[in-house]
Amino acid sequence: MAKISILLLPVFVKVALAIPAYGSLAGLTQRQVDDFIANNTLAPIPPPPGPLVNDGLLLVNDPSHPFIQPGPDDLRGPCPGLNTLANHGVRKTLRPTVSEFHFAEFNQYLPRSGVARPDQLVTAVMEGFNLGNDFARFLVYQAHLIDGNPITNLISIGMKTPQTGPDPPAPAIVGGLSQHGTFEGDTSMTRVDAFFGNPAIFNETRFDEFSAFSMQFGVNGTYDINAAAELRHQRLEDSIQTNPELSFQSPRILSAFSEAVFPTIFFVDGRLDNGQLNLQAARSFFQPNKFPDNFFRQPAPVSFPTIQPLTQQLFDKHPFVPGMNNGTNNFIELPDTPALSDFCGIYDDIVNRVLKTQYPNPSGPLLEALQTNLNFLFSAVEGHNCTQAFPFGQ
Ligand code: HEM
Ligand SMILES: *[C@@H]1O[C@H](CO)[C@@H](O)[C@H](O)[C@H]1NC(C)=O
Ligand SMILES: *[C@@H]1O[C@H](CO)[C@@H](O)[C@H](O)[C@H]1NC(C)=O
Ligand SMILES: *[C@@H]1O[C@H](CO)[C@@H](O)[C@H](O)[C@H]1NC(C)=O
Ligand SMILES: *[C@@H]1O[C@H](CO)[C@@H](O)[C@H](O)[C@H]1NC(C)=O
Ligand SMILES: *[C@@H]1O[C@H](CO)[C@@H](O)[C@H](O)[C@H]1NC(C)=O
């Protein structure tokens, strides 16, 4: 797997070099983009890697992955997990030296620029946190389809950027992970709702609340599953009362509940692995986006069978019906949209509604790239026995 990424690096570099020259193509018509693609072949789409070969406990904050503050041109976004992997990642230069190729043989996490290929993201979250392969694919290809650039095969973990290359035609957004209303959504734990400000940056008031809930509901003042259940409930109640534009429905409901559980697993040192996140480690991940000193990842890959019962546990404590506000404190339930427990319904909603809205009628190489990524996404949900969705035909 590492070998493959070395071989692909020069190709990737060529694409990156090509981008500034064509940056002004952003926002052209389908015809013009087709021309562009015809003249400048689609970036290759490496398939996602398989499961890790060595998938056990491992020191991940090691000397070959030093924490470095992001520079002014490095993009960071709403995900503390991915921001951390970029802050401990590789500085990608346009012309890698031989030693950098060698370096790439080690687990490189993410490019510090914050712009990456989806297969790199899958590798990074497996290597850095020990996400299971199918779970990593599910998160990554969902994100790439709705926030990434299928033509250049690049996605920003932060805001929209010319670094992901010329865009496919509107209504495609290619907004990066910070794009509100796609993957990013309301009721985040440590960020404000987009209605109130930038939802991609850490908010101290929010983190104080995270801490207070941990002190009140968690074992020994830690963020554990009980603290997670109460905080998740309170974040929704708060937004219902204050955010006139709150939206809390598929697919956001699934990410909101998963992300409430993640810190109790992935942010806890794998040698302890007791579901109890202490607040110093929590701050380290959420604010500077830094692995705690000497941090070990999970002792075994963590996937749907671990995550889903925990999100169910949160739901059972405080059930809800998906919906949206029509003005503050006026939550309109949308019982016909997929419920949190309806995994295949949410998969279908991502593909047939969210994606299709951005790509109503793709053709040519753009269509091919979308189909390829849709197949990668489906490969992640097969274990759930979902029926494959074909928004653009088979
Ligand atoms: C694998 C690909 C991943 C993608 C595409 C992704 C994407 C995102 C996005 C878009 C958000 C913002 C959602 C929102 O609050 O509105 C988010 C939040 C979050 N992510 Fe990730 N993520 C990934 C992996 C991870 C991993 C591996 C971890 C933990 C190790 C993680 C932990 C979190 C947490 C805790 C939040 C919630 C932040 C908050 O509510 O304040 N994510 N992620
Ligand atoms: C593609 O190449 C053709 C023929 O060389 C040229 O006329 C056209 O302007 C090019 N289109 C783009 C978008 O580069
Ligand atoms: C952080 O969140 C609080 C509470 O929602 C808000 O009052 C404050 O303006 C936010 N701070 C920033 C910097 O956005
Ligand atoms: C709480 O912390 C103390 C001291 O670290 C420890 O001895 C005790 O077992 C912990 N309690 C629980 C329920 O984990
Ligand atoms: C939202 O509220 C306005 C009145 O404040 C009403 O006219 C409108 O029908 C409501 N929309 C929905 C979807 O209920
Ligand atoms: C999927 O189908 C198989 C075979 O019918 C069954 O054993 C398995 O439990 C199903 N899995 C889920 C998540 O429904």
Distance CA 381, CA 346 (A): 11
CA-closest candidate to residue 30, choices 143, 168, 152, 161: 168
Q: Under a CB-based contact definition with an 8 Å cutoff, are residues 145 and 313 in contact?
A: no
- 129: number of Cβ within 10 Å: 25
Q: CA 223 → CA 103, 164, 190, 249, 261, distances in Å? A: 36, 36, 13, 25, 10
Distance CA 75, CA 157 (A): 7
User: CA neighbours within 13 Å on the CB side: how many for 303?
Assistant: 18
Write the pLDDT tens digit of every residue in 321-341: 999 999 999 999 999 999 999
The predicted pLDDT at position 90 comes to 76
The predicted pLDDT at position 13 comes to 34
Percent of the chain with pLDDT over 70: 85
**Closest Cα to atom 6 of ligand 4:** 220
Please give the distance, rounded to the nearest whole angstrom, from the Cα atom of residue 385 to the centre of ligand 6.
6
Comparing 156-170, 187-201, 229-243, the range with the smallest average pLDDT is 156-170
Please give the distance, rounded to the nearest whole angstrom, from the Cα atom of residue 331 to the centre of ligand 5.
11
**Closest Cα to atom 5 of ligand 3:** 192
Residues counted in the chain? 394
| Ligand 1 binding pocket mutation candidate from 82, 109, 188 (most atoms within 8 A of CB) | 82
Write the pLDDT tens digit of every residue in 271-290: 999 999 999 999 999 999 99
The predicted pLDDT at position 17 comes to 33
Q: What is the mean pLDDT of residues 36-64?
A: 88
Which atom of ligand 6 lies at the shortest distance from residue 384's CA?
13
Please give the distance, rounded to the nearest whole angstrom, from the Cα atom of residue 232 to the centre of ligand 1.
15
Task: Compare 287 and 30 and report the one with higher pLDDT.
Answer: 287
Write the pLDDT tens digit of every residue in 80-110: 999 999 999 976 543 444 444 444 444 689 9
**Measured torsion, CA atoms of residues 92, 95, 98, 100, in degrees rounded to the nearest 10:** 0
CA-closest candidate to residue 90, choices 73, 120, 70, 110: 110
The predicted pLDDT at position 189 comes to 98
Q: What is the mean pLDDT of residues 138-147?
A: 98
The predicted pLDDT at position 29 comes to 65
Distance CA 95, CA 117 (A): 17
Comparing 12-26, 101-115, 291-305, the range with the smallest average pLDDT is 12-26
Q: What is the mean pLDDT of residues 14-31?
A: 46
Which atom of ligand 4 lies at the shortest distance from residue 274's CA?
14
Q: Assign 22 a pLDDT band (cuts: 50, 70, 90).
A: very low
Peptide bond into 251 cis (omega under 30): yes
State whether the beta carbon of 190 lies less than 6 angstroms from ligand 1: yes
The predicted pLDDT at position 42 comes to 80
Paired tokens of 227:
């603290």
Q: What is the mean pLDDT of residues 141-164?
A: 96
Kindly write down the DSSP assignment for every residue of 13-82, as one continuous string. HHHHHHHHHHGGGTT--HHHHHHHHHHS-PPP-PPPP-S-SS-S--B-S-TTS------TT----S-HHH
Q: Does residue 361 surpass a pLDDT of 60?
A: yes
Q: Does residue 263 surpass a pLDDT of 70?
A: yes
Q: What is the mean pLDDT of residues 335-348?
A: 98
State whether the beta carbon of 332 lies less than 6 angstroms from ligand 5: yes
**Closest Cα to atom 13 of ligand 6:** 384
Please give the distance, rounded to the nearest whole angstrom, from the Cα atom of residue 251 to the centre of ligand 1.
13
Percent of the chain with pLDDT over 90: 81
The predicted pLDDT at position 166 comes to 87
State whether the beta carbon of 387 lies less than 6 angstroms from ligand 6: no
Please state, rounded to an integer, the average pLDDT across all residues of the chain: 89
| Beta strands 247-248; 331-333: pairing state | unpaired
Q: Does residue 373 surpass a pLDDT of 90?
A: yes
State whether the beta carbon of 188 lies less than 6 angstroms from ligand 1: yes
Q: CA 38 → CA 14, 15, 364, 392, distances in Å? A: 17, 15, 9, 21
Angle, CA of 175, 141 and 69, to the nearest 5°? 60
